[in-house]
Amino acid sequence: MPLISPTKWREMFKQLLQMEDGQIRFFGLTTVLLGLFLLMWLY
């Protein structure tokens, strides 16, 4: 992603820094669960 669009990458990190800890944890948990679901679905 940084190779393709470094400006968007930088903007995303700025937004991430403005989020509260709980929001970051929820986003991380959602991402992990989505990844596990996709792995189970594909295999």
Structure tokens given for 31: 């991402």
Q: Which residues contact 19 (CB under 8 A, 6 or more apart)?
A: 27
Question: How far apart are the C-alpha atoms of 9 and 15, rounded to whole Å?
Answer: 10
Tens-digit pLDDT profile for residues 1-43: 678 888 998 998 899 899 999 999 999 999 999 999 999 998 8
Q: Against a cut of 0.85, is the pTM above it?
A: no
Phi, psi (degrees; rounded to nearest 5) at 6: -65, -30
Write out the residue range of the structural domain in which residue 28 sits.
Answer: 6-42
Could you tell me if residue 1 is inside a domain? no
pLDDT, position 21: 93
Q: Where are the alpha helices (DSSP H) in 1-43?
A: 6-18, 21-42
Overall number of domains in the chain: 1
